[in-house]
Amino acid sequence: MDIVLTGTGSPLPDANRAGPSSLVKAGDTHILVDAGRGVVMRMAGAGSMPHRLAGVLITHLHSDHICDLNDVITMNWVMTQGNGTLKIYGPPGIAEFVKRQMHALELDVGYRIAHHEPLTEGPRVDVTELEPGDSFDLNDVHITTAATMHAPVHPTIGFRFEHEGSTAALVGDTIPCDGVDELAANADVYVQTVIRRNIVEQIPNVMLQDILDYHSGVVEAAQSATRAGAKRLALTHMVPAPTPEQYPEWIAIAAAHYDGEVIIGDDLTTITV
């Protein structure tokens, strides 16, 4: 099973980092987690496309994690020539969000149906709203969920993937909590969005200061990885995004609290488990 960090950015635009998303590839089963800006381009770079997706999983409804879901829906529809159904899973609220996306696409859908004979109806989506603790299968990948903590965003959920004895935890935006520990327990890789708390604290911007209370810092992610017994820790959605020259500093901070391998995610970083 491969975990491809298709988007390692944050809400802050970055020429080198697409918005938050990850792609799970287990044989022929491809699963997208979140759909931030540029996700379809990064999927192409990862050797996938929307029509190959077994499902799209959404951790929460912050705009940076869902702003390109409409592109995934449209490209799935076009690439399957109207014959595919895109499965979308997420917390309560995802059904209404998708419904509104479909309304936003109505004019485009009409134009394409008028122009392309194979397209006779709009995109097909199958939306499932999840509660923490729900589990399900997408082909031969077993997925479990747990509650995370990203208040005032509520509910938020993380995901654990199991395939042929390999496990990966992708928990989204959260502070340390029981749900993270549950999902990451003995995982082959635990993927955590992080901030550099000591840097953010020094930035004189009120809205940036606000992110301190609902994101894990590098230290906290490392402590969670140690507590859960995760074999590898991958950092993504880093704020502020480090340059490659700064990667050793970030790794050293995590290594002071965690003995396993620490991976700094670039777009298209691939972790095989």
Q: Name the catalytic one among 64, 68, 173, 267.
A: 64
What local confidence, expressed as pLDDT, does residue 116 receive? 97
| Tens-digit pLDDT profile for residues 26-55 | 999 999 999 999 999 999 999 999 999 999
**Rounded distance, CA 185 to CA 224, Å?**
10
Please state which of the ranges 20-24, 46-50, 199-203 shows the lowest mean pLDDT.
199-203
* H or E element at residue 70: helix 69-79
Instruction: Identify any residues that bridge with 22 across adjacent strands, giving them in sequence order.
Output: 33
What mean pLDDT, rounded, does the chain reach?
97
Q: What local confidence, expressed as pLDDT, does residue 107 receive? A: 98
pTM above 0.85, yes or no: yes
pLDDT at position 199: 93
User: What pLDDT is recorded for position 59?
Assistant: 98
| All residues at 6 or more sequence positions from 37 whose CB lies less than 8 Å from its CB, including other chains | 7, 9, 13, 18, 19, 64, 67, 68
64 assigned to active site = yes
The residue-averaged pLDDT of 151-159 equals: 97
Quick: pLDDT tens for 50-94: 999 999 999 999 999 999 999 999 999 999 999 999 999 999 999
